[in-house]
Amino acid sequence: MEALKNVFESKNQATSPALVTFVTAGYPTVQDTVPIMLAMQEGGADIIELGIPFSDPIADGPAIQETNVVALQQNVDYVTCLNMLREARSKGLTAPVLLMGYYNPLLAYGEDKACQDASEAGANGFIVVDLPPEEAIAFREKCARANLSYVPLIAPSTSENRIQFLASIADSFIYVVSKMGTTGSSVTGTMNSALPELIDRVRAYTDVPLAVGFGVATREHFDLVADAGADGVVIGSRLISIIKTASQNQVAQTVEAYCREISLKGQPPRRPSTTHTRSSTSRVSTTSKQQSTSAATSSLPHRFGQFGGQYVPEALWDCLVELEEAHKVAMNDPEFVKEFESFYGYMNRPSNLYKAEKLTQQAGGATIWLKREDLNHTGSHKINNAIGQILLAKRIGKTRIIAETGAGQHGVATATACARFGLECIIYMGAEDVRRQALNVFRIRMLGAKVIPVHSGSCTLKDAVNEALRDWVTNLSNTHYLIGSAIGPHPFPTIVRDFQRIIGKEIKAQLNAEIGKLPDAVVACVGGGSNAIGTFYDFIPEKSVRLIGVEAGGEGIDGDRHSATLSKGKSGVFHGVRTYVLQSPTGQIIETHSISAGLDYPGVGPEHAWLKDSGRAEYVVATDEQALRGFRMCTQLEGIIPALESSHAIWEGVRLAGTLPKEANIVICLSGRGDKDVEQISQLLPGKWEDVLDWHVPQQ
Active site residues: 49, 60
Contact 522, 548 (CB under 8 A): yes
Of 137, 213, 211, the closest CA to residue 178 belongs to: 213
Contact 600, 406 (CB under 8 A): yes
Q: Which long-range contacts (CB under 8 A, 24 or more apart) does 375-378 make?
A: 375/348, 375/351, 375/673, 376/347, 376/348, 376/349, 376/351, 377/346, 377/347, 377/348, 377/416, 378/409, 378/412, 378/413, 378/416
How many CB atoms neighbour CB 688 within 10 A? 7
Core vs surface per residue 217-236: b (16+ CB within 10 A) or e: bbeebbbbbbbbbbbbbbbb
DSSP secondary structure letter of residue 537: G
Instruction: Classify burial at 661, counting beta carbons within 10 Å of its beta carbon; exposed 0-12, middle 13-18, buried 19 or more.
Output: exposed
**What number of CA atoms fall less than 13 Å from residue 338's CA on the CB side?**
3
The pairing of strands 546-554 and 174-177 is unpaired
Separation between Cα atoms, residue 54 and residue 396, nearest integer Å: 34
DSSP characters for 48-113? EEEEPP-S--TT--HHHHHHHHHHHHTT--HHHHHHHHHHHHHTT--S-EEEEE-HHHHHHH-HHH
Separation between Cα atoms, residue 681 and residue 661, nearest integer Å: 34
Separation between Cα atoms, residue 387 and residue 335, nearest integer Å: 15
Q: Residue 120: which H helix or E strand, with range?
A: helix 111-121
Amino acid sitting at position 570: K
**What number of CA atoms fall less than 13 Å from residue 109's CA on the CB side?**
22
642 preceded by cis ω (within 30°)?
A: no
Amino acid sitting at position 358: K
Q: Is 353 helix (H, G, I), strand (E, B) or coil?
A: strand
Separation between Cα atoms, residue 689 and residue 89, nearest integer Å: 64
DSSP characters for 354-405? EE-HHHHHHHTSSEEEEEEGGGSGGGBTHHHHHHHHHHHHHHTT--EEEEEE
The pairing of strands 307-308 and 303-304 is antiparallel
The sign one gets for the Cα dihedral 427, 431, 433, 437 is positive
Separation between Cα atoms, residue 298 and residue 286, nearest integer Å: 18
Cα angle, residue 342 at apex, residues 339 and 344 outer, rounded to 5°:
130
313 preceded by cis ω (within 30°)?
A: no
